[in-house]
Amino acid sequence: MKAGKVMITISVMAVLNVCAASFVNEHILLPSKKLKLEIPSEFPKPYYLFYNNSISLEKFNLGKKLFYDPILSSDSSTSCASCHHPAEAFADRGHPLSEGVGHRLGIRNTPSLQNLIWKDNLMWDGGINHIEFQPLSPLTNKDEMNENLENLLIKLRRNPEYKAMFKSAFEDTVINSEMTLKSISIFLGLLISANSDYDKYVRKEKSFSQEQQRGLNLFINKCSHCHTPPLFTNNTFELNGLPYACNTLDSGRARITGAPQDYYKFKVPSLRNVSVTSPWMHDGRFNTLESVLDHYADLPSSTTSGNPGLQSIGPISNDDKKDIIEFLKTLTDTVFLQDQRFTMDHELLKKN
Amino acid sequence: MLLVKKYLALTYLVTLFFLPEVAKFIPFSKNTTVQIQFEHTVYNDVLKLDTAKYFNAVGQPFSITKFKYYIGNIILQNSNGTSYRHRKYYLINEEDEMSKSITLHDIPASDYTGMSITIGIDSIDNCNGVQSGALDPVHGMFWSWNSGYIFLKLEGTSAECSTPMQFFEYHIGGFTADNNCIRTTSLQFVKPAKLKTKTRLSIILETAVDKILNKPNSIDFSVLPTITDRKNAKLMADNYKDVFTVKELRYEGR
């Protein structure tokens, strides 16, 4: 009978394991009701599901503090948030190129940070293969934070506030790279935007105006080959038809792969919250959405040939442009842009 | 009751299915130790950083300032055709004496006829997020802008280098099919290594740094002073494929 009991216990454990595995995909509840991972119903399964990095409020708060802290840069001048502003979907409005320590300019426009767990790789060139490795790139880039991991850990280890926060997040007196990068990943991973007027339209909670509806139809025909809903990116690297910029010498995806066919290709950016992230394109060369559409409407056939994404655009009339822009504005998620859980001023979240 | 028993038996089988590793039996032996020591040499002499002057195959003088590399997937083969596999990674660093000796405990007692050892990090461990220990990115063996581990770093100076301060810098890595720099050396022991309980077996491996510059691809410092991304990396990976030789087997405690 004893053996029977053991068997029951083990089998119950196994059944629970299986259940937990299927639950976790849809819903991860946090210790606090203020913070939970909800996978929007229209979205596919994320690439990052916080395996080996379970979500907790303590880790989230630590990750958020690190995100906003210029201690990450070599001269304590620049934090992640210096270029990633929450009200601009964590992009950098008004700045074509990102600006790091010593006002040094990078070669690319600051991308927005949202729905990152649905990306199989990150950055304009896709060089980062995992969200937990992502913070290392701006941290060590000479034109961004210009710091190294070893030095950052020294600074964190002698800071009493961090000592306490790492201890409560990881129940350990050690502070190491894994903890640092994983807690930032918790913060980044929970930046989810899926509450725009477009989403409400899809969920039949809101109707579109005539212009918005016409803009959506045009968008689907002309733009969705690359900017595919619901994430408004197909997560691949594409030619954007722009001439090579001599000031940035940026070969795009080829910088990572070295492959001839990858020259000047860039990761298709999501268009969620696009109307608050000016200027646009990988090098921020366009200041208005009109000029972005002008560019795509006017591509010479020598550029579009052999490129199904660019070919599908075709001519865009002025009325079309207006309506497409009306539609793009419906992708703005004000709940996300104003979410106090993600802003610095908000007092660190406390457990209920 | 019979039904219950049937149900239990079924769930037990299901449980076994869902509990990997635990159910499989690996005949570990208590109190066995295998120590693998790495001796870094250049043309059969012990490697001396910074000060010693060497010449490569094309007659160019050089000195070495840094030499470190990841090893892993150590496999010990025994005479009956089975093998013991140790999956951990180690970072071997010329500047860190402790790192040049690794100790494996409770290895199955057997007569081992050979071994294989791999330089590099498996693709899964290159893509699965941050880790601690040997794979902690703090060790300066990780490309932060192009995710992936640097498997081997060989740095130094040569008068033939056109770089500032005349340095050469070889950072070798790459785990994708078209850029694979993971290389395994297979080694046979002259006499079988007999590992018994309460025995410590030391395998002294020689790492011939000169091979990495010379064989089969002879590196010309004036043509290729740096390899710091995946371009050209395979040239050097092919050179470190057979970089290890067994120098000696030592026993203690028999």
Distance CA B47, CA B42 (A): 6
In sequence order, what are the beta bridge partners of B201?
Answer: B34, B251
Kind and range of the H or E element at A239? strand A237-239
Determine, for residues B132 and A177 on separate chains, whether the beta-carbon distance falls below 8 Å. yes
Tell me which residue in A8, A15, A178 faces B130 most closely, judged by beta carbons: A178
Compute the nearest-CA separation of A135 from chain B (Å). Answer: 9
Give the mutation candidate from A1, A5, A11, A123 for the B interface (greatest B CB count, under 10 A).
A11
- A117 CB-near residues (< 8 Å, 6+ apart): A46, A47, A48, A49, A131, A189, A192
Cis peptide before A111 (omega within 30 of 0): no
Cis peptide before A229 (omega within 30 of 0): no
B178: closest chain A residue by CA: A257
Q: How far is CA A53 from CA A19, A99, A179, B17, in A?
A: 19, 31, 9, 25
pTM: 0.87
Distance CA B157, CA B64 (A): 7
H-state helical runs in A141-245: 149-157, 160-170, 177-189, 197-202, 210-222
Cis peptide before A308 (omega within 30 of 0): no
Determine, for residues B130 and A14 on separate chains, whether the beta-carbon distance falls below 8 Å. no
Distance CA A250, CA A282 (A): 10
Residue type, A25: N
Q: Record the tokens describing residue A63, joined without a space.
A: 């990750």
Distance CA A24, CA A117 (A): 14
Determine, for residues B138 and A149 on separate chains, whether the beta-carbon distance falls below 8 Å. yes
Flag whether residue B93 sits within 8 Å of chain A, measured between CB atoms. no
- Judged against a pLDDT cut of 80, whether residue B44 lies above it is answered with yes
Q: How far is CA B95 from CA B34, B69, B91, B133, in A?
A: 23, 12, 11, 18
Flag whether residue B159 sits within 8 Å of chain A, measured between CB atoms. no
pLDDT (tens digit per residue) in A192-236: 999 999 999 999 999 999 999 999 999 999 999 999 999 999 999
Flag whether residue B19 sits within 8 Å of chain A, measured between CB atoms. yes
Give the mutation candidate from A9, A10, A47 for the B interface (greatest B CB count, under 10 A).
A10
Determine, for residues A181 and B8 on separate chains, whether the beta-carbon distance falls below 8 Å. no
Kind and range of the H or E element at A255? helix A254-257
Q: Which residues of B touch A53 (CB under 8 A)?
A: 129
Identify the burial level of B155 via C-beta atoms within 10 angstroms of its C-beta, where 0-12 means exposed, 13-18 middle and 19 or more buried: middle
Give one DSSP letter per residue of A277-333, joined into a string: S-SBSTT--BSSHHHHHHHHHT--HHHHTT-HHHHTT----HHHHHHHHHHHHTT--
| pLDDT given for residue A346 in this prediction | 59
Listed as ranges, residues in chain A with pLDDT below 50 are 1-31, 352
* Closest residue by Cα to residue B203 from B23, B31, B42, B74: B74
Cα angle B240-B241-B247, degrees, rounded to a multiple of 5: 85
| pLDDT given for residue B237 in this prediction | 97
| pLDDT given for residue A173 in this prediction | 92
Determine, for residues A150 and B138 on separate chains, whether the beta-carbon distance falls below 8 Å. yes
B59: left (phi over 0), alpha (psi -120 to 50) or beta: left
Determine, for residues B130 and A141 on separate chains, whether the beta-carbon distance falls below 8 Å. no
Residue type, B75: I
CB pairs under 8 A between A and B: 86
A142: left (phi over 0), alpha (psi -120 to 50) or beta: alpha
Sorted by where each starts, the structural domains of chain A and their CATH numbers stand as 36-193 (1.10.760.10), 197-332 (1.10.760.10)
SS3 content of chain B, % helix, strand, coil (to 5): 20, 45, 35
Determine, for residues B127 and A15 on separate chains, whether the beta-carbon distance falls below 8 Å. no
Distance CA A191, CA A176 (A): 24
Q: What are phi and psi of B39, to 5 degrees?
A: -110, 120
Give the mutation candidate from A149, A151, A152, A166 for the B interface (greatest B CB count, under 10 A).
A149
The 10 Å CB-count burial string (b at 16+, else e) for A164-186 is ebbeebbeeeebbbbbbbbbbbb
* Higher-confidence position of B86 and A25: B86
Q: Which residues of A touch B127 (CB under 8 A)?
A: 129-130
Q: How far is CA B240 from CA A214, B167, B221, in A?
A: 62, 21, 17
Q: Which residues of B touch A15 (CB under 8 A)?
A: 11
- B81 CB-near residues (< 8 Å, 6+ apart): none
Compute the nearest-CA separation of A128 from chain B (Å). Answer: 5
Q: How many other C-beta atoms can be found within 10 angstroms of the C-beta atom of residue A1?
A: 5
Q: State the ipTM, two decimals.
A: 0.86
Domain ranges of chain B: 26-252
Give one DSSP letter per residue of A14-81, joined into a string: HHHHHHHHHHHTTEEE-SSTT-EEE--TTS---S---TTS---HHHHHHHHHHHT-GGGSTTS---GG
- Judged against a pLDDT cut of 60, whether residue B5 lies above it is answered with no
Residues A83, A216: contact at Cβ < 8 Å? no
